[in-house]
Structure 1
Amino acid sequence: MNRGWRALVIGCGWISRQVHLPYLAGLRATGGLRSLYVADTAPERAARAARDFDAEMYTGPLEGAGADLVLVATPPADHATLTLRALAAGARVIVEKPLALTVEDAASVLAAAHRHGGGVYPLYTMRHRPEAALIRQVLAQRMGPAYEIRASWLRHDGVPATQGGTEPGVLWDLGSHLVDLALWLPDWCGATGTARAEHQHSAAAAIGDPRAGWQRQEPADQVVSAPKWHGVRAEATLDPGRRLHVEASWAAPGIRRDRSRIDIVGEQATLTWRTVLGWSPDRRTVCGPTLWITDADGRKQVLLHDQPRDPHVEYTAQLDAAFAALTSGDAAGSLETAYASTALLHAMRTSLDTAAPAPFDTRN
């Protein structure tokens, strides 16, 4: 790691305070960074973050910060624009998911990273779950080619507590993790096909306060418009002959606990990952087994019984990986996968808007 880096965090909201700022402040304290700056469109948030993490406020344009590393943790609508500006200013970039909200913006980031020679590391956290490495190993050694994936993430009550979090919709929030895993785990990037999506779980039917309990400490004076829909269901056909099914909800009716599941069907066996993703308190009580494989004869073998109870495990691992990749100049693969997932999600989003199938091309 380059100990002379000046780091600038743009966006001092919940995820920065939980993950990014503690991590970066720890690095600076041990000599891993030269300095740490924070910026936010709300000066009071930036001031609080600067005080709590012994950082310096920065109030000027990004281009004048002289930052070697920019961490973008703003609402998703700003991710691509800020990443492009940081690259043009000569900085390396760590950007929260999703990389962008359109395939065109994702392509611009990919091209700019190549043009400026700077690295961009998108934070798709679930790739860094300990189970993910084991799944990739099993897929390579025991499954045969995968031809179908079913992925779901259903929350009991987990609507983001900020306007910036709700505006992109559940597809870009939870769905971006599921689509990224579905492409990354079996290496389904570089595909073309068509996608279809439809809204699920009308917010009008919600009972009580659906906001994520772990985010209810957001400022009480912040007005957050309720999303019209809490859920989405989507599917995609990837040439040649592979299928992906995705279901995601912030507040799914009829469930008492948050749950996530991914089934990967291969020629020789089916792998099942049953878990709880993200910051849900249900992670602390979910029962095993969490990962198993079922062969063609129906025989089941448990591969992993327990899952990590603390979400900081994967969030710390992803920042370790981001710094390693940006230091070594080896961030291109992660960025290309993020481009692929953005292309597929854009097609799903287009189908939601048009009620018709939408084509996609994840090649770059």
Structure 2
Amino acid sequence: MSRGRRVLVVGCGWISRLVHLPYLAGLRATGGLRSLYVADTDPERAARAARDFDAEMYTGPLEGAGADLVLAATPPVSHAALTLQALAAGARVIVEKPLALTVEDAAAVLAAARRHEGGVYPLYTMRHRPEAALIRQALAQRIGPAREIRASWLRRDGVPATQGGMEPGVLWDLGSHLVDLALWLPDWCGATGTARAEHQHPAAATIGDLRAGWQCQEPADQVVPAPKWHGVRAEATLDAGHLLRVEASWAAPGIRRDLSRIDIIGERATLTWRTVLGWSPDRRTVPGPALWITDVEGREQVLLHDQPRDPRVEYTAQLDAAFAALISGDAVGPLEAACASTALLHAMRTSLDTAAPAPFDIRN
């Protein structure tokens, strides 16, 4: 694939307007792509995006677009089907997270990508935070093999502003980033085990009070129902003896600041990453240090004090990585990791639905 002679963005919501379309418009201005097209189920939204980013609207079937690259930025429920459709049409695909909402759909995407020379790159943005590279280096050199990971992402008021964003639930929204990091950072992909999950704090407040203020809002005449639950807590026991604990909330009670934290407990030390993930304005004021190690005797060493305040750092880095991987044909590894996290999240979702432990297999 070239750098993308003809690119079609499917889905013109807030993430496309904030990240994807500015990036692609800039790439076109420097000759990195020839033409930029946009499509959306809402014609007015597509028209605004076309006007604002000097793109062309596309209203026909995806198979007729003739796109070299399709960027799928639609609600999560459509990601897998859209990716398969684009691959069948001969396009490469960059797809927003989560890759899919079931293990079966993720497996179908992986199989199709292998048939099409690995032409799918999933956007799991937090892998591209600068801290992630430092963490992987510390795991290899300082921490030793990881035994347990605790990952949390708690917002004080950050419910998605669209129905499509809310429908998969907080587990697939915030939890997909946490689970992906927990498997990818220590390379825990390729295992089996059992997952358990439970809902946390039912949604008592009105949705208007808790919407994510950094997202573009839906039109005033569109009613977005409140979710039933704002939080989830989950646990996975891997067959290798590893333990993963995850907690995520769109509106955690009693907190005054959004906070994300990952603790990786290794054989020789514990690594802690304290930050704010995503687009929350609290990211601009989260205190340092961002990353530190605590050895078995309780001594601490700071690895990183300051952290990126602008989320465009990792969002730009991931698109750079996506284009590089699709051009080189080296996108299979990131896709396999996304399939592993999908399988584990599917098991957690099953446990939420059945109130019973659910098995998982994250081998590809």
**C-alpha RMSD over aligned residues:** 1.1
- Structure 1 residue aligned with 2:264: 264
- Structure 2 residue aligned with 1:329: 329
Q: Distance in 2 between matches of 1:34 and 1:118?
A: 23
Per-residue deviation, residues 205-225 of structure 1 (Å, max 9, x unmatched) = 569701001125432222111
The amino acid across from 2:253 in the alignment is: P
Give yes or no for contact 1:206–1:251 (8 Å, CA) kept in 2: no
- Structure 1 residue aligned with 2:155: 155
The amino acid across from 1:234 in the alignment is: A
Residues 1-364 of structure 1 mapped to structure 2, 5 A cutoff = 2-3=2-3, 5-204=5-204, 209-215=209-215, 217-364=217-364
Q: Distance in 2 between matches of 1:263 and 1:323?
A: 31
Q: Distance in 2 between matches of 1:4 and 1:42?
A: 25
Give yes or no for contact 1:90–1:118 (8 Å, CA) kept in 2: no
Judged with a 3 Å threshold, the aligned counterparts in structure 2 of structure 1 residues 310 and 200 are, in CA distance, closer, same or farther, namely: same
Judged with a 3 Å threshold, the aligned counterparts in structure 2 of structure 1 residues 299 and 206 are, in CA distance, closer, same or farther, namely: farther
The amino acid across from 1:209 in the alignment is: D
Where 2:210 maps in the other structure, the secondary structure is coil
The Cα of 1:253 is off from its aligned counterpart by 0.3
Where 2:141 maps in the other structure, the secondary structure is helix
Per-residue deviation, residues 115-153 of structure 1 (Å, max 9, x unmatched) = 122510000000000000000000011111101000000
Give yes or no for contact 2:96–2:123 (8 Å, CA) kept in 1: yes
Where 1:27 maps in the other structure, the secondary structure is helix
Where 1:315 maps in the other structure, the secondary structure is helix
Q: Distance in 2 between matches of 1:68 and 1:215?
A: 29
Give yes or no for contact 2:207–2:226 (8 Å, CA) kept in 1: no
Q: Which runs of no fewer than 5 residues in structure 1 stay unpaired? A: none
Give yes or no for contact 1:202–1:229 (8 Å, CA) kept in 2: yes
Q: Which runs of no fewer than 5 residues in structure 2 stay unpaired? A: none
Q: Distance in 1 between matches of 2:63 and 2:118?
A: 15
Q: Distance in 2 between matches of 1:4 and 1:46?
A: 21
Where 1:339 maps in the other structure, the secondary structure is helix
Where 1:215 maps in the other structure, the secondary structure is coil
Give yes or no for contact 2:92–2:119 (8 Å, CA) kept in 1: yes
The Cα of 1:5 is off from its aligned counterpart by 1.6
TM-score by length of 2: 0.98
Count of paired positions:
364
Where 2:214 maps in the other structure, the secondary structure is helix
Q: Distance in 1 between matches of 2:216 and 2:92?
A: 33
Q: Distance in 2 between matches of 1:207 and 1:117?
A: 43
Where 1:213 maps in the other structure, the secondary structure is coil
Q: Distance in 2 between matches of 1:232 and 1:280?
A: 19
The amino acid across from 2:301 in the alignment is: Q
Where 1:209 maps in the other structure, the secondary structure is helix
Judged with a 3 Å threshold, the aligned counterparts in structure 2 of structure 1 residues 207 and 89 are, in CA distance, closer, same or farther, namely: closer
Kindly, what percent of the aligned residue pairs are identical?
88
The amino acid across from 1:254 in the alignment is: G
The amino acid across from 1:350 in the alignment is: T
TM-score by length of 1: 0.98
Judged with a 3 Å threshold, the aligned counterparts in structure 2 of structure 1 residues 107 and 4 are, in CA distance, closer, same or farther, namely: closer
The Cα of 1:4 is off from its aligned counterpart by 5.6
